[in-house]
Amino acid sequence: MSSVLLIDAGNTRIKWALARLDAAPGHWQADGVAPHAEMDRLAAQWARLGAARALVSNVAGDVLRDAIAAALPKGLAVEWFASSPARAGLRNGYREPGRLGCDRFAAAIGARALAPGQDLIVATCGTATTIDAVTADGRFLGGMILPGLALMASSLARNTAQLPQVAPGAAPPPLFGDNTDDAIVSGCLSAQAGAIERAVAGHGARACIVSGGAAPFIAPALKVGHQVVDNIVLVGLHAAAIAV
């Protein structure tokens, strides 16, 4: 069975995986991650994989798209993943389906593949945090977009006099911080967790999947049942590739 190269090009990093088309979504033969600036290293890695085709989700613009295209092995069949009215068993309920971010559509496909037949919430916590709802019968309803955890903290520091820049750490602070740094982190974590919890309650979701670089920081603050999944966009791309 042939293998497909899956690529998730986000605003700060490029994540990739090599997957067989007869494997369950999320089971990779190889995977990796690199910042945009390390395209030469990615090109060398991808050249050694022997993939038959590539499926690419890119939300970082045309310049990065061109760089990825140049880095892919010559002759490789490439599909640039885009949101569509329906794919891989998921119906896109966005008012204009094509305007839904392709990473959000892929994440929803991936979440449905991992939790089929359930009303679910999928939260992807990166530069931005997106929180989307999928119905048990496979309809993407829509969602929320808010600043990501680090962006929220940096915006507060940048626009408020005398507040320090705080990098959220692995150990959550007390709910009511007794110093400014802890108070900022607690407030940002509470905002992120509160939005996810509100989405779960409003949708009546039976499943909540949390992914993204900030997921390890946000998940411990959640008061609802959830599953942390690495690279949910790649899981969705894998499910979409299998369904073709």
Please give the CATH number for the structural domain made up of 3-80: 3.30.420.40
> Is 79 a residue whose pLDDT tops 90?
yes
List of residues 6+ apart from 12 with CB closer than 8 A: 35, 36, 126, 127
What is the C-alpha separation between 178 and 158, in angstroms, rounded? 21
The Cα 134–Cα 124 span in angstroms is: 14
Which whole number is the average pLDDT over 202-209? 97
Confidence band of 9 (pLDDT split at 50, 70, 90): very high
The pLDDT of residue 236 is 98
* Per-residue pLDDT at 170 exceeds 60: no
pTM of the model: 0.93
Residue 128 has pLDDT above 80, yes or no: yes
pLDDT band at 185 (very low <50, low <70, confident <90, very high): confident
pLDDT, residue 168, reads 62
Which of residues 170 and 73 earns the better pLDDT score? 73
Active site residues: 103
Q: Which of 37-41, 124-128, 173-177 has the lowest mean pLDDT?
A: 173-177
- pLDDT at position 177 over 90: no
The verdict on domain 117-149+166-238 having CATH code 3.30.420.40 is yes
Mean pLDDT for the chain overall: 93
Give pLDDT, residue 221.
Answer: 92
pLDDT band for position 167 (cuts 50, 70, 90): low
pLDDT for position 163? 66
Residue 174 has pLDDT above 70, yes or no: yes
Domain with CATH 3.30.420.40 in the chain: 3-80, 117-149+166-238
Alpha-carbon distance of 139 to 150, in angstroms, equals 31
Angle subtended at Cα 57 by Cα 209 and Cα 140, rounded to the nearest 5 degrees: 45
**Amino acid sitting at position 17:** A
